[in-house]
Amino acid sequence: MILENIKKENDIKKVPLEDMEQLAQEIREFLLEHVSKTGGHLASNLGVVELTMALHYVFCLPEDKLIWDVGHQSYTHKILTGRKEGFDGLRTLGGMSGFPKRCESPCDAFDTGHSSTSISAGVGYVRARDLKQENYHVVSIIGDGALTGGMAYEALNNASVLKKNFIVVLNDNEMSISENVGGISSYLSNLRTAEGYQEFKTGVKNSLSKIPGIGPATIKRLHKTKDSIKRLVIPGMFFEDMGITYLGPVNGHDCSKLIQTFQEAKKISGPVLVHVKTEKGRGYEPAMRHPARFHGTAAFDLENGLPLSSGGKANYTDIFSTVMRKFGDRDERVVAVTAAMPDGTGLKRFRNMFPERFFDVGIAEEHAVTFAAGLALGGMIPVVAIYSSFLQRAVDQMIEDVCLQNLHVIFAVDRAGLVGSDGETHQGCFDLTYLSMIPNMTVMAPKNKWELSDMMKFAVNYDGPIAIRYPRGEAYDGLEEYRAPVLKGRSEMIYEGNSIALLPIGSMVKTACQVYEMLKAEGETPTLVNARFVKPLDEKMLDRLAKEHSLLVTMEENVQKGGFGSAVIDYMHRHHPQVRVLNIALPDRFIEHGNPEKLKEKAGIDAVSVYKKIKEAK
């Protein structure tokens, strides 16, 4: 076992080149054995084993900086930097993160989770290095999917003026989570077929130098001339024209070739892009056949690739998916927009039924929102389905392009609240805050699966910007009999009592039902109101509750600041200062990875914690 001898960073440099293939095999077996038990981002990691090994072979860690875009493909990097043991507790509370974390290792140069940031961070490192006259290498590793994100181009534009070495590795597996989309993806596909042209590029130079009368100056001129033959025959012109040297494409599963190319890239002054071709899911048949399914997977049976636990109850995404198909069928103006998440948002089924009304814009949340504004002005009813944490990217577009013009755009905000094992970067903690602060925006959250459906109907028939936020995972199927019509800014009375009023929003209604039972068991007669709307607030209901209650308990899976509770406390303070308000919300800190139920306990928003806080407040 070669892997046994890899205990810390740079140990790989001692492995003879002829043993690299064997090491790659052992790493794949290690990944499969562990991720099949814990779950995690499997397919991308299987694809970058040799690429990561070659980078670790050529560069010196932690002095040199490897910056992983998104970071979901950093497992081999973790293995090679002394973190094999961490895989037993991968993505569990207190265990190792699934993404690079500077607090985990000095070899993690930049914390990531959201896409298309690696080149920007890399350029920053390079500028700092050069200003301080230091001497290390900076390598940003970005996938073809991440290269559909606008930030990557802003960074490349900026990188093109660098005078000293900066390496961008483009890990091209022709896949985002699903099939990659758009013009850059087609461009890369053409480049992929150009293997061997790198040698040809050098060959052209060498041949020209042999022609009598053509000296180095002429070759240099030809190399710089935009209309020269290189435009016709040399791949990577898009990058080269920006002043970025293009190397590749290189077979990403050939360690020797990769090592040779990175050694060459190290010597080049200025920015270099190394185009590496890899295969997502490499080495595991089910993942190669279904790379999207194994992009992020729960625990599965290694023998056949099938999930270990059966589907269980429908989740909110399933409900949204079904509702979208229904509304797509009913109204031809309904169109769907996703930023590279057709599977995760449940829009795949809409795409299959209405391909011409489905738009995957790539990992481009900002564009998705402004694009939706254009669709709305053109007479469509766009439904933009984006995860809560990814929609953070497009706050400006929601303000400037949608809400300022008061356009009918529906935001389906999935993964709102604690998502669990992805951790800090992916928790949906802020959407109630950033959505409700925007003028003209209406913000709703359903208590259960039927209410998501009713709210979608309300949103389609509404006119103006409107957001529905719902959590990851199983949809609550309690309180089926409570299905009062959804009316703008109106909450729903569930149980009417006195003294203590529970006022939960969305996913917290289920928790509030448990708290209600605990209080009732003690002889209390609390009130339970399903808030439904964060904006506009149901002020009439607050006025009504103020009459019979001395304590109002707001409950939300969002940070307190600027969220539902803060809106209620603000109103009550101004109009009913005699009523005490207890805000149950997520704390003002980033919430780590782990099982969502355990995270809720730790954050003090589970039923028992809420009950205790009420007892203290009474």
Ligand X SMILES: CC(=O)[C@@H](O)[C@H](O)COP(=O)(O)O
Ligand Y SMILES: Cc1ncc(C[n+]2csc(CCOP(=O)(O)OP(=O)(O)O)c2C)c(N)n1
User: Would you state the structure tokens that stand for residue 542, as one six-digit string?
Assistant: 């607050």
Residue 453 is assigned to a ligand binding site: no
393 in catalytic set = yes
Q: Given the rule CB under 6 A, which of 414-422, 450-458, 578-586, 601-609 is the region that contacts ligand X?
A: 414-422
Q: Which residue has the tokens 């007892």?
A: 615
The residues in 176-205 that bind ligand Y, with binding defined as CB under 6 A, are 176-177
Q: Which of ligand Y, Mg ion, ligand X, none lies near 324, with the C-beta cut-off 5 to 8 A by kind?
A: none
Would you call 106 helix, strand, or coil by DSSP? coil
Q: Given the rule CB under 6 A, which of 103-111, 120-128, 251-259, 415-423 is the region that contacts ligand X?
A: 415-423
**Among 9, 50, 144, 240, which residue sits at the site for ligand Y (rule: CB under 6 A)?**
144
User: Would you state the structure tokens that stand for residue 354, as one six-digit string?
Assistant: 């209405």
Active-site residue, selected from the candidate residues 280, 325, 351, 535:
280
**Among 38, 52, 73, 140, which residue sits at the site for ligand Y (rule: CB under 6 A)?**
73
Q: Contact 276/282 with Cβ under 8 angstroms?
A: no
Give me the torsion for CA of 248, 254, 255, 258, rounded to 10°.
0
CB nearer to Mg ion: give 143 or 428.
Answer: 143
CB nearer to ligand Y: give 415 or 447.
Answer: 415
Q: What is the DSSP letter of 380?
A: -
Residue 365 is assigned to a ligand binding site: yes
Q: What is the DSSP letter of 291?
A: T
Q: Contact 610/553 with Cβ under 8 angstroms?
A: yes
Residue 114 is assigned to a ligand binding site: yes
Nearest approach in angstroms of CB 523 to ligand Y is: 49
Contacts of 271 (CB under 8 A, 6+ apart): 156, 159, 160, 162, 166, 167, 168, 243, 244, 245
What are the CA-CA distances from residue 611 to residues 77, 521, 531, 596 (Å)? 44, 12, 19, 19
What are the CA-CA distances from residue 60 to residues 13, 256, 508 (Å)? 9, 17, 49
192 in catalytic set = no
CB nearer to ligand Y: give 30 or 390.
Answer: 390
Which string of DSSP letters, residue by residue, matches 152-179?
A: HHHHHHHHTT--S-EEEEEEE-SBSSSB
Q: How far apart are CA 413 and CA 445, in angstroms?
A: 9
**Among 138, 363, 416, 509, which residue sits at the site for ligand Y (rule: CB under 6 A)?**
363
**Among 296, 346, 471, 526, which residue sits at the site for ligand X (rule: CB under 6 A)?**
296
CB nearer to ligand X: give 72 or 408.
Answer: 72
365 in catalytic set = yes
The residues in 152-211 that bind Mg ion, with binding defined as CB under 5 A, are 173, 175
Q: Does 532 bind ligand X (CB under 6 A)?
A: no
Which candidate, 423, 464, 463, places its Cα nearest to that of 441? 464
User: Would you state the structure tokens that stand for residue 491, as one six-digit string?
Assistant: 């909450």
Q: Which of ligand Y, Mg ion, ligand X, none lies near 472, with the C-beta cut-off 5 to 8 A by kind?
A: ligand X
CB nearer to ligand Y: give 179 or 195.
Answer: 179
Q: How far apart are CA 483 and CA 7, in angstroms?
A: 59
CB nearer to ligand X: give 34 or 72.
Answer: 72
Binding residues vs ligand Y (CB under 6 A) = 44, 70, 72-73, 114-115, 143-146, 173, 175-177, 280, 295, 339-341, 363, 365, 390, 393
Q: Which residues are annotated as a binding site for Mg(2+)?
A: 144, 173
Binding residues vs Mg ion (CB under 5 A) = 143-145, 173, 175
Q: Which residues are annotated as a binding site for thiamine diphosphate?
A: 72, 113-115, 145-146, 173, 284, 365
User: Could you list the active site residues?
Assistant: 280, 365, 393
Binding residues vs ligand X (CB under 6 A) = 41, 70, 72, 177, 295-296, 344, 415, 419, 422, 472
